[in-house]
Amino acid sequence: MSNATQLPNQQYQRMIELCEIARQRYLDAGGDPKRSSGTLHGNEHLTEEERKEFFALGRQLSGFKVKDGYAYHLGESWKLLDDLPSQKKEVKSEVK
């Protein structure tokens, strides 16, 4: 596997691990194994830190970035509306 695909594959595997952790916590809490564990109505089974990591990984893998009032994706960019909260600062997608 080339270095260019190794990191995204590792990130994707980490996202899968986080999903499996959340699913197991849902089941351990008495959740119905036939239903989705989801996050509706505060039904969250990841810690805040795990949740932030999950979303940061998703942003990295999607290639979507917001910076200086512009959105960038797949080699294209477009200007965002001036009153969006994300305009106040750059959306960070780095995982430590």
In angstroms, the CA 52 to CA 47 distance is 9
> pLDDT (tens digit, 9 = 90+) per residue, 14-64?
999 999 999 999 999 998 899 887 776 667 899 999 999 998 999 889 988
Contact between residue 72 and residue 65 where contact means Cβ atoms under 8 Å apart: yes
Residues 6 or more apart whose Cβ sits within 8 Å of residue 42: none
Whether pTM exceeds 0.85: no
Residue 78 forms beta bridges with which residues? Answer: 71
